[in-house]
Structure 1
């Protein structure tokens, strides 16, 4: 589990560094140029992380551990490029507050998932259903542009990914116990780190939408 957390934390750190560097310069930054005038490059950057997640999820059995590692780091870099826009939209103080609030919440929830004796699998099924509903609501709101629905989506997103943090931690702990000492151990570490990374980043983004203030 320590290896999982190390991979996850390193991925988040790499994403943050890439995002900060890509957005340096504000409106004249590479991020602004790409996402305002980038054309197809903008969509490549935005969709590539999703493609990598699908490739890792469905191809992990056929891939070498080294290949999964390479894809994980590539994913973290591409996520940094994609998330660089938050530094153009939100103030640095808002980003820092949302990040540290997420880090504190994530630590507590992951610790609960790791130590609890309660089986969280039923909660996980409910949360996955909630995640599907959340995605549908976000797609609908792209067209209706409702500020009230946006607030509900943000609040629900924080709750869903908070719950998934505890659920995924327990699932990773269980999987790791089954593969300890086998060749699958390295793959489980990387895929576990990817799951927790996604929980952390999504909880952070929804929390930022709730409490973030725009740049002056």
Structure 2
């Protein structure tokens, strides 16, 4: 699920004020690149941690016993990541940067345990293919969001409505168990989170102008990484519906 941590900036995207001295603009651009690199490093490290935990949890046999067992531990693993996302998003002003970092790594670990079931359902080759396809799409879409001069904030509001619609449809399909509806939800989900990848990248880039040189920059990096992580993981899971081959 996509949780937006900040309001959409309505100023020029990722640039200092018009009329700034050339030296100031150069320093701003260097700081922006360093800031975005940290965001991507956190996001990529979280995805890799999730994948590693998922593989180890599945191969240990615990995933089979816990995730298909129906006990309370299963629901704790499934619901805990959602609770952490809400806590990070709405409690960001209360938590220190270190606390947010710890919560991010804990979230990535729990997501790995929750997603371990894909290794029990799909072949390793199809999971790898889907991962690389998602990575390529994510890189292209994020690059577009970073470089485009078009304001994507209007698209963002529409996409957030799409996320809400997806959640409602998924809850309904829990009772209907419709294969066709599942495929439709997955197709729309891929498109929605593809769009959110571009939108979130632009939003994260624009935030730098507000937090540069403040004590909020560390928190912003972690929360930005969380947003991109959610875009990537959701796009991967929806795409796996089409590219995944079952054992």
TM-score, length of structure 2 as denominator length: 0.85
Deviations 1:103-127 (A, max 9, x none): 0000000000000000000000010
1:62 maps onto 2:94 in alignment: yes
1:13 maps onto 2:45 in alignment: no
Distance 2:226 2:209 in 1: 18
Shift in Å at residue 202 of structure 1?
0.2
Q: How does 1:25-174 map to 2 (within 5 A)?
A: 29-37=61-69, 39-174=71-206
TM-score, length of structure 1 as denominator length: 0.97
SS class of match (2:213): coil
Distance 2:79 2:231 in 1: 18
4+ runs deviating over 6 angstroms? none
Shift in Å at residue 177 of structure 1?
2.2
Shift in Å at residue 3 of structure 1?
0.3
Mark the runs of 5 or more structure 1 residues left unpaired by the alignment: none
2:59 to 13, 17, 24: 24
Shift in Å at residue 37 of structure 1?
2.3
Q: Report how many aligned residue pairs link the two structures.
A: 212
Shift in Å at residue 178 of structure 1?
1.4
Distance 1:212 1:37 in 2: 23
Instruction: Report which of the two has the higher share of helix.
Output: 1
SS class of match (2:68): helix
Distance 1:117 1:91 in 2: 41
Mark the runs of 5 or more structure 2 residues left unpaired by the alignment: 1-35
Q: Name the structure 2 match of 1:188.
A: 220
Deviations 1:12-37 (A, max 9, x none): 00000000000115xxx111011122
